[in-house]
A and B are shown apart, each in its own frame.
Chain A
Amino acid sequence: MIKFIFIKLAQLIPTFIGVTIVAFSFIRLLPGDPILLMAGERGISAERYAVLEAQLGFDRPLIAQYFDFIGNLLQGDLGTSLVTHAPVMSEFMNRFPATLELSLFALLFAVIVGLPAGVLAATRRGTFIDHSVMGVSLTGYSMPIFWWGLLLIMLFSSTLGWTPVSGRISYLYFIEPVTGLLTIDTLLAGNWDAFRSALHYLILPGIVLGTIPMAVIARQTRSSMLEVLGEDYVRTARAKGLSSFRVIMVHALRNALITVVTVIGLQVGVLLAGAILTETIFSWPGIGKWMIDAISRRDYPAVQGGLVLIAFIVMLVNLLVDVAYGVINPRIRH
């Protein structure tokens, strides 16, 4: 098992190098002089230009610049934001918990709805229930989530006034950050009202972000269940006279879950991409919104740092999925 993890880690190294090259080239590929571009339309004084050039290391040879970049990266230094003048790393870390909380909630929603729906569709194959589940999941899968978010806001926030339109928690509450996840921090502080407020703000964006993963999980669960239900051991279990609930839950679902777990893991990239749109719509102060703001403000060091860090997260999660898959399904390891 240890060997398996090491092999997987070693395979990540070329990808890691590739990702850093992409991020490194990013600023340098901009058409025109990147420093003038960053300065924007106001222009820039000669002194400031020289300072920026030295700060970004643009006066050094390209290869030296790349190794500087890697060296700094390994020390957690991703440069400073041109807009806030704060380190990109800390800007990212300040916002990451918001995205993490949103994504976890979305994934929870996706699994809680998608998994039972998939099981139900598989066990009631060909019935109205099956067709409805598949119809809903195909619709969810095809959903432009930025529109879906707007529709839900129109209905639940503007018309019914049930949920707030933007933000993470009511300004009435100040919660000392511990984990950075407001739903957990409010519980740790024992403040129920604040917890309810945080949940209130979380629910709509969470559902929006969880819609596509939900559809994918429902479809995958259904097809793995159908496959497993046709296996000999399921027939044996039925023949032994076990209740059909037990056959489905214990014998079939456990084996069907192997592929479903992988699919759930692969949703992380989908979630992070979706977070960009969801956070923009709900003004959710996470890394998705931060990246969009950075792009529109031409804050290139922030965009560069964000690209690297997000790619690392995706790679790391994929590695964990691979390892988890190796644990559940030992055949993979060899």
Chain B
Amino acid sequence: MTTLSPSAAPGTLRYQLAEFWGSFSASRGALVGLLFITFILLIALFAPWVAPHDPALQNRDAFLVPPVWHAEGSWRYVLGTDAVGRDVLSRLIHGARFSLSISAMVVVLSMAVGIFLGLLAGYFRGWLETVITRLMDVVLAFPSLLLALGLVAVLSPGLTSAMIAIALVQLPYFVRLTRAAVIGEKDREYVTASRLAGAGHGRLMFNTLLPNCMAPLIVQATLSFSTAILDIAALGFLGMGVQPPTPEWGAMLANAREFMGSAYWAVTFPGLVILLTVLMINLMGDGLRDALDPKLKRS
């Protein structure tokens, strides 16, 4: 007699995880994305140890030093320096901390509030639903960046305002998805069973319904994460986000802009890092969608 390994038993969490991993890792793009994101996260986490220089240190002997592959470049500043002699690579590494942590907070904030409002709207329906969906329509009527800019102007430019503004702009997507998912699940047998067993509103919403509505929300979370990185950088670029001398990718681009003609590296690398990070998150998001939501599967 052979014993079944516990991981093979359908219905268990381990089985589900294995199944998820199976379809996620089937996509090469998704795996590459995951690896890259893990790499960037580790770099961000260990930034002070990984970065070769202090990101704020201005070296007077090294203004606009080109990257190492130029004749005038040196291994001391692998990706060159900016106009005040700061190491571009070190600033990029430290910048990852800001971009990733602010974006992560944006997603958490937006997702938490969005799920709550979406659950309320989908579960209770009626006037509450009308009010919530109309409010979200108002948010959607403004182009996202414009609304964020307006909010930042009200709240005064800075890290926290940028975070709140972008979280608000992302909110309607989470609300709409949660609401739609809840409405779809609400009349299923397991929910009725739970209600008959005496579960209250809170328990029904958060313990019964929510776990079964998570798949599209997780996919949306990765999408929001990449959008947040772009928006934070855009606000930084416009001078409305993280304030100097904080090494933030968008702000780095804005500072380097006037030296565009003479120092391409100061412009090229921050943008390249933004593009790569966003691209890899989107690749991973596509894989997640295929693995979590067979209905949405890309044909």
Contacts and interface: CB of A to CB of B under 8 A. Distances in A.
Query: Are A and B genuine complex partners?
Result: yes
B299 A307 contact: no
B104 interface: no
* Chain B CB within 10 Å, residue with most, of A19, A22, A273: A273
B52 to A, nearest CB: 24
Interface of A: 14-15, 18-19, 21-22, 26, 29-31, 138-139, 141-144, 146-148, 150-151, 153-154, 158, 223, 226-227, 230, 269-270, 272-274, 276-277, 280, 291-292, 295-296, 303, 306-307, 310-311, 314-315
Interface in B243-299: 250, 253, 257, 260-261, 264, 267-268, 270-272, 274-275, 278-279, 282-283, 286, 298-299
Given A19-B138, A150-B260, A280-B238, A291 B146 contact: yes
29 contacts: A14-B137, A18-B135, A19-B141, A30-B154, A31-B155, A139-B275, A141-B282, A142-B279, A144-B271, A146-B237, A147-B253, A147-B270, A147-B271, A150-B260, A151-B271, A227-B299, A230-B299, A269-B140, A274-B145, A276-B145, A276-B238, A277-B238, A292-B149, A292-B238, A295-B240, A310-B142, A311-B141, A314-B141, A314-B142
B150 interface: yes
A137 B272 CA distance: 16
Nearest to A22: B138
B111 interface: no
Interface stretch (B37-45, B181-189, B208-216, B226-234): B226-234
B124 to A, nearest CB: 19
Contacts of A230: 299
A144 B134 CA distance: 31
A142 B142 contact: no
Contacts of A310: 142-143, 146
A277 B145 contact: yes
A122 B240 CA distance: 41
Contacts of A315: 141
B239 interface: yes
B8 interface: no
Given A26-B150, A295-B240, A150 B257 contact: yes
B138 A18 contact: yes
Interface of B: 134-135, 137-138, 140-147, 149-150, 153-156, 226, 230, 233-234, 237-240, 250, 253, 257, 260-261, 264, 267-268, 270-272, 274-275, 278-279, 282-283, 286, 298-299
Contacts of A29: 154
A311 B253 CA distance: 29
Contacts of B250: 144, 146
A154 B234 contact: no
B260 A154 contact: yes
Contacts of B279: 138-139, 142
Contacts of A26: 150, 154
Contacts, number: 126
A11 to B, nearest CB: 9
Contacts of B270: 147
Nearest to A212: B230
Contacts of A139: 275, 279
Nearest to B148: A273
Contacts of B156: 31
B298 A223 contact: yes
A301 to B, nearest CB: 13
B100 to A, nearest CB: 15
A144 B230 contact: yes
Contacts of B272: 147
Contact of B253 (A150, A154, A226): A150
B209 to A, nearest CB: 27
A149 to B, nearest CB: 10
A270 B142 CA distance: 10
Contacts of A148: 271
Closest 7 pairs between A and B when the two form their complex, measured CB to CB: A147-B271, A18-B138, A273-B143, A142-B278, A273-B145, A142-B279, A272-B143
B276 to A, nearest CB: 8
A26 B286 CA distance: 38
* Chain B CB within 10 Å, residue with most, of A14, A150, A277, A280: A150
Contacts of A158: 260-261
A142 B273 CA distance: 11
A18 B135 CA distance: 7
Given A18-B134, A19-B138, A269 B144 contact: yes
A150 B253 CA distance: 9
A265 to B, nearest CB: 14
A272 B237 CA distance: 17
Nearest to B229: A144
A143 B289 CA distance: 21
B1 to A, nearest CB: 45
Contact of A295 (B153, B237, B267, B282): B153
Nearest to A13: B134
A272 B279 CA distance: 22
A18 B233 CA distance: 29
B156 to A, nearest CB: 7
Nearest to A230: B299
Contacts of B233: 144, 146
Contacts of A19: 138, 141-142
A314 B286 CA distance: 28
A30 B154 CA distance: 5
Contacts of B145: 273-274, 276-277
Contacts of B286: 138
Nearest to B262: A158
B275 A291 contact: no
A151 B268 contact: yes
* Chain A CB within 10 Å, residue with most, of B143, B261, B286: B143
